Structure 1
Amino acid sequence: MEGHFRLTSGRHSNKYLQCAKIFRNTKYSEELCAALAEHFADDNIQLVIGPALGAVQMAYEVSRHLKVENFFAERDADGKMTLRRGFAIQPGQRVLIVEDVVTTGGSVREVMDIVKEQGGVVAGIGSIVDRTGGAIDFGVPFKAVISLHVDSWEPEECPICKQGEIPLVKPGSRKV
């Protein structure tokens, strides 16, 4: 979509990629998640985790292709990413973290911290869309189905805000 958007990261952009619309159709989500899973097929992945809300279905579908368990991390009442619902990572377990769209990688890094705190090994990161054009570095293998550079700005640097002609909208699932 084109316009003036506040991203989950808090940054502003003139483009927004809504992966939730892809996951409405099982044909497309299966195809995209299979392509992503293929990147990690030889990496001895034992568990797939995605941050809620955007990567819940994605974690399920990628794990289905890798034939491993999956679950999701979610925010508690204070906004901290956590594991709930009895989910736990076993020490030494090789974990693939998936995210629908990566812009700054903030949610991914929060999930990486959870995996490490519980003694797991972050074996890789996968996303449907990498908005950084390959510039982001998580310190582990990162693969995306599509990688492209999409401009984004800190709110005070946003040229669209400065023009004042297009209203700012927040289409994602998380309030910023």
Structure 2
Amino acid sequence: MGRLAAFALVAVGLGATTGARAEIQFCNKFPQKVYVAIAYPQADQSWISRGWLEIDTGDCAEFDSALHPSAVYYRGESVPYRNASGASVTRVWSSSGRQFAIWEKDNFHYWNAQERVLNSTLADFSLLADGLASDASVTVTFEEDGIHTTTSVQAPHSHTSN
């Protein structure tokens, strides 16, 4: 899957964030590079899908830090690799139920992504979070076993004075 460097996507290392700001971050513990696409709703009830965010093993990266959607779906795909039997495989993290437009061959940014757009393909995405506060931070980690993901949602602490 030849994908170019992510456009309009900002890579951030672990612990490189400061202050209380929202982020949608993906971390990769899987032994192969993982590409991530996300989909999120617009005010007019249409959806946008974007990809591919490239994450090397052991790294974390976030999508555009200005992004504050109320709901987020994601799809992860590993680079093709050889399994123990020597067969070429690609690991995909998604669940059936919700499909959005993707472009397998390169980066994409689709409006009305709930429908097939241009040369796109509709593909399954997993729900990351729904009903997110605009200042919540969400992290998904693709685990080493290639099956599981770990998700954490953090809302900033509110401060009150006496």
Q: So what's the TM-score if we normalise by structure 1?
A: 0.27
Q: So what's the TM-score if we normalise by structure 2?
A: 0.29
The structure with more strand, counted as a fraction of residues:
2
